[in-house]
């Protein structure tokens, strides 16, 4: 079990988030990668709630007041993509050491974070800011097709393969987490191969352990301050 209070690697996340965000906070990606690699880590917590003002200590380590933050022997690292590159460099199952394979893996990491997630995020953001406005449905209907196009393209690229590029890598880890976080389930289920891909990813023991660890931490923190 990689959570170990004496571990060198430290993963910082928020101590509490709203119930709907639990299970989707991005420290999950880092916990998942560490579980895949069998690397122990300890947890630390910064004052939540998401969207609230962040303390200066938080902003010093994470300029955008986000989580996770990763610390290890002189290194303080932010952005889950960068953390996964770093963790991947410790385990070639996650990030191949072969130069060409590694480059292709990073292409899928950036694709998840820069070509798919932003359109999911735009759809979410537009829905969020238009709550109770007359243009709520119009705005979501206008933005949704951009995400749908990306999912259709991703489905075509995946085809009937198990993972995006040979074996499971941090590229798949990020893509699966981006896809599972899309709130409108119908967008994914329109593509049976994407549904199966997300199921394969989230069925991995390392994912299960990472998710349980995140949920457990929120529950524990809540209990301790109740």
Q: How far is the CB of 23 from a copy of itself (least distance, A)?
A: 20
Q: How far is the CB of 219 from a copy of itself (least distance, A)?
A: 28
Count of positions on this chain that bind a copy of itself (CB under 8 A): 49
Phi and psi angles of residue 143, each rounded to the nearest 5 degrees, phi first: -90, -30
Q: For residues 146 and 182, is the Cβ–Cβ distance under 8 A?
A: no
Task: Work out whether 121 is an interface residue with a copy of itself (CB under 8 A).
Answer: yes
The span of 16-24, 32-40, 128-136, 197-205 binding a copy of itself (CB under 8 A) equals 128-136
- SS3 per residue for 91-133: CCCCCCCCHHHHHHHHHHHHHHHHHHHHHHHHHHHHHHHCCCC
Task: Work out whether 86 is an interface residue with a copy of itself (CB under 8 A).
Answer: yes
Q: How far is the CB of 192 from a copy of itself (least distance, A)?
A: 18
- Judged by CB under 8 A, the chain residues 42 through 71 that form the site for a copy of itself are 59, 63-66
Query: CA-CA distance, 105 to 36, in Å (whole number)?
Result: 16
Task: Work out whether 33 is an interface residue with a copy of itself (CB under 8 A).
Answer: no
Q: What is the DSSP string of 205-221?
A: HHHHHHHHHHHHHHHHH
Q: In whole angstroms, how far apart are CA 184 and each of 85, 129, 153, 165, 179?
A: 29, 17, 18, 26, 10
Task: Work out whether 193 is an interface residue with a copy of itself (CB under 8 A).
Answer: no
Q: How far is the CB of 85 from a copy of itself (least distance, A)?
A: 5
The span of 12-20, 132-140, 187-195, 203-211 binding a copy of itself (CB under 8 A) equals 132-140
């Amino acid at each position: 079990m990689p959570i170990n209070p004496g571990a060198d690697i430290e993963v910082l996340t928020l101590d509490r988030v709203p119930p709907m965000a639990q299970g989707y906070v991005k420290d999950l990606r880092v916990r998942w990668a560490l579980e895949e690699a069998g690397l122990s880590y300890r947890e630390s917590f910064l004052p939540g709630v998401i969207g609230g003002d962040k303390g200066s200590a938080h902003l010093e380590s994470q300029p955008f007041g986000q989580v996770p933050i990763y610390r290890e022997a002189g290194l303080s690292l932010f952005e889950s993509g960068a953390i996964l590159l770093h963790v991947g460099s410790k385990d070639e199952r996650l990030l191949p050491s072969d130069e060409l394979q590694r480059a292709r893996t990073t292409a899928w990491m950036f694709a998840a974070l820069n070509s798919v997630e932003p359109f999911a995020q735009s759809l979410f953001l537009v829905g969020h800011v238009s709550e109770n406005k007359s243009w709520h449905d119009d705005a979501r209907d206008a933005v949704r097709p951009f995400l749908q196009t990306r999912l259709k393209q991703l489905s075509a690229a995946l085809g009937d393969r198990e993972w995006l590029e040979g074996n499971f890598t941090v590229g798949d880890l990020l893509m699966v987490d981006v896809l599972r976080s899309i709130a409108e389930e119908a967008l994914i289920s329109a593509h049976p191969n994407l549904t199966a891909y997300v199921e394969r990813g989230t069925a991995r023991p390392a994912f299960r352990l990472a998710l349980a660890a995140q949920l457990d931490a929120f529950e524990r923190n809540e209990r301790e301050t109740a």
